[in-house]
């Protein structure tokens, strides 16, 4: 063992209580940082997963981002028209099958058509507004989590009755409808059909569960009173994070507005940024406070050991070596604190993971935690860096001492 390590360890060991307090400080900082990161990232991931599952990754709708350019605008550069009321166009995506075929050639993922309408559901004399979406059960299971969200019945149940409908579980509860109930569906377009409830789903997002129903595409087209209408293509891509780029390309190629889930949830995603800034600030502050403990013990040791430092320097140890001794002591505390903190952080996460929570807005009744080695690495690294910083100043001061100044004083 080298001389510096030997002396550093001896100093640290001979002050067991102080060392322990400093190590405990760093460990608490590291442990709680890990726990906090685990919780924050865990809940964020959980939330993102729900977001990603609740909506299609990319929704291609029959809208355009800007109103059609008017002849006057095309003819004269100086003309701009605001607040244009567009001509009523025939709704729906033109040639949906051709577009789907073209997209499936390059989009990494699956595409399914759907027909969205707004309708009034009537049961037992009461009316409920709902958004009724026509889906293709064969394709739907590749683009949404709906099949896994079915509580009763399956998507295929839509084929079992003439006009079958699947309701959100909260909607069904509000209406008092059950599997087999016959309800009436009316739309603003004047359609009026009877439908049988064949399934219930639960997405976990209250608003969706309270006001959404699924039917077959052809049923939805009847409700919209337009044969062949497809007004939304839903895309599920393999890598949700690439959705934004893919959406842009789809929009370029088809001319239809296509919205990636990131864009649909822009406000939520930007609130994550704020959350993360808050988290890192708090974690940084915790570790900073912990490093004060390290600074404290290192400067105490350098004061108590002024005489030893003078002896070492008078023997011929140079400034660099003496400085290294005390920086090393700080690093030993930082390292011990980090390792103890890893254990503490892990145990805190395990303990938090056992707590049950009943939250009406969430399905999960356990806290969502992630165990990411990166959190440990970052917290450990920050602990070591701040220990180094905390030890460096007193170490430098100690190393600069002229041995005679102390020896003269001692004599």
Partner 1 sequence: MNASAGNSLIEARGVIRILPGIVPVTLVHDIDLTIGNNEFVAITGPSGSGKSSLLYLLGLLDMPTAGEVLIRGRATTDMEEDERAMTRLATLGFVFQFHFLLPEFTALENVMLPMRALGALPPVAMRERAAMLLESFGLTDHIGKRPDQMSGGQRQRVAVARSLANDPPVVLADEPTGSLDSQSSEQVFRILRDLVEVRSKSVVAVTHDLDLAARMDRRMQLIDGGIVDGAQMAGASRAAPV
Ligand X SMILES: Nc1ncnc2c1ncn2[C@@H]1O[C@H](COP(=O)(O)OP(=O)(O)O)[C@@H](O)[C@H]1O
Q: Which spans of this chain sit near ligand X (rule: CB under 6 A)?
A: 408, 411
Pick out residues in 20-39 that bind partner 1 (CB under 8 A): none
Alpha-carbon gap, residue 292 to 26, rounded angstroms: 9
Task: Quote the least distance from Cβ 374 to ligand X, whole Å.
Answer: 55
If the CB atoms of residues 393 and 401 are measured against ligand X, the closer one turns out to be 401
Determine contact, residues 400/389, Cβ cutoff 8 Å. Answer: no
> If binding is defined by CB under 8 A, does position 17 make contact with partner 1?
no
Give whole-number Cα distances, 146 to 47, 53, 156, 162, 166, in Å: 17, 9, 12, 21, 11
If the CB atoms of residues 354 and 411 are measured against ligand X, the closer one turns out to be 411
Task: Quote the least distance from Cβ 302 to ligand X, whole Å.
Answer: 20
Closest Cα partner for 23 from 207, 223, 298? 298
Alpha-carbon gap, residue 169 to 206, rounded angstroms: 10
If the CB atoms of residues 178 and 408 are measured against ligand X, the closer one turns out to be 408
> If binding is defined by CB under 8 A, does position 18 make contact with partner 1?
no
Torsion, Cα 176 181 184 187, to 10 degrees, reads: 70
Q: Which residues of 45-67 are buried (b: 16+ CB within 10 A; e: fewer)?
A: ebebebbbbbbbbbbbebeeeee
Closest Cα partner for 254 from 104, 108, 135? 104
Q: Which stretch binds partner 1 (CB under 8 A): 54-62, 79-87, 200-208, 319-327?
A: 319-327
Task: Quote the least distance from Cβ 407 to ligand X, whole Å.
Answer: 10
Which residue carries 């699924």 as its tokens?
214
Q: Which stretch binds partner 1 (CB under 8 A): 140-148, 185-193, 377-385, 397-405?
A: 397-405
> If binding is defined by CB under 8 A, does position 314 make contact with partner 1?
yes
Task: Quote the least distance from Cβ 305 to partner 1, whole Å.
Answer: 9
What sign does the CA torsion over 338, 342, 343, 345 have?
Answer: positive
If the CB atoms of residues 138 and 307 are measured against ligand X, the closer one turns out to be 307
If the CB atoms of residues 339 and 407 are measured against partner 1, the closer one turns out to be 407
Alpha-carbon gap, residue 126 to 166, rounded angstroms: 18
321 binds, among ligand X, partner 1, none (CB under 5 to 8 A by kind): partner 1
Task: Quote the least distance from Cβ 296 to partner 1, whole Å.
Answer: 21
Burial class (CB in 10 A: 0-12, 13-18, 19+), 146: buried
> If binding is defined by CB under 8 A, does position 317 make contact with partner 1?
yes
> If binding is defined by CB under 8 A, does position 275 make contact with partner 1?
no
Give whole-number Cα distances, 336 to 69, 301, 361, 389, in Å: 68, 18, 41, 16
120 binds, among partner 1, ligand X, none (CB under 5 to 8 A by kind): none
Alpha-carbon gap, residue 401 to 306, rounded angstroms: 8
> If binding is defined by CB under 8 A, does position 335 make contact with partner 1?
no
If the CB atoms of residues 289 and 410 are measured against partner 1, the closer one turns out to be 410
Contact set with partner 1 (CB under 8 A): 2-3, 6-7, 10-11, 14, 307-308, 310-321, 402-404, 407-408, 410-411
């Amino acid at each position: 063992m080298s001389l510096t390590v030997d002396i550093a360890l001896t100093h640290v060991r001979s002050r067991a209580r102080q060392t322990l307090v400093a190590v405990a400080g760093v460990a608490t900082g590291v442990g709680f940082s890990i726990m906090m990161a685990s919780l924050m990232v865990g809940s964020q991931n959980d939330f993102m997963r729900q977001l990603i599952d609740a909506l299609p990754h990319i929704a291609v709708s029959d809208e355009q981002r800007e109103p059609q350019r008017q002849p006057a605008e095309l003819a004269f550069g100086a003309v701009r028209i605001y607040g244009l009321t567009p001509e009523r166009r025939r709704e729906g995506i033109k040639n949906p099958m051709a577009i789907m075929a073209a997209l499936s050639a390059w989009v990494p993922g699956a595409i399914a058509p759907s027909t969205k309408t707004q309708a009034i559901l009537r049961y037992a004399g009461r009316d409920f507004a709902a958004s009724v979406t026509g889906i293709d059960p064969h394709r739907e299971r590749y683009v949404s989590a709906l099949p896994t969200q079915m509580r009763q019945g399956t998507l295929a149940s839509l084929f079992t009755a003439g006009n079958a409908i699947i309701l959100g579980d909260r909607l069904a509860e509000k209406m008092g409808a059950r599997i087999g109930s016959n309800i009436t569906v009316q739309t603003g377009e004047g359609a009026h059909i009877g439908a049988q409830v064949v399934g219930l789903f639960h997405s976990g997002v209250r608003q969706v569960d309270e006001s959404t129903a699924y039917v077959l595409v052809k049923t939805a087209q009847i409700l919209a009173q337009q044969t062949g209408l497809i007004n939304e293509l839903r895309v599920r891509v393999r890598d949700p994070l690439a959705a934004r780029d893919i959406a842009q390309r789809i929009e370029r190629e088809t001319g239809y507005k296509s919205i990636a889930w990131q864009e649909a949830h822009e406000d939520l995603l930007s609130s994550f940024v704020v959350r993360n800034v808050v988290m890192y600030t708090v974690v940084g502050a915790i570790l900073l406070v912990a490093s004060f403990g390290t600074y404290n013990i290192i400067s105490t040791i350098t004061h108590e050991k002024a005489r030893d430092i003078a002896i070492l320097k008078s023997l011929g140890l140079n400034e660099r070596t003496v400085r290294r001794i005390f920086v090393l002591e700080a690093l030993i505390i930082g390292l011990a604190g980090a390792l103890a903190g890893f254990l503490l952080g892990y145990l805190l996460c395990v303990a938090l993971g056992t707590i049950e929570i009943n939250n009406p807005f969430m399905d999960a009744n356990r806290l969502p935690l992630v165990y990411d080695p990166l959190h440990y690495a970052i917290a450990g690294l920050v602990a070591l860096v701040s220990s180094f910083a905390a030890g460096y100043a007193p170490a430098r001061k100690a190393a600069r001492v002229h041995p005679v100044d102390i020896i003269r004083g001692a004599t």
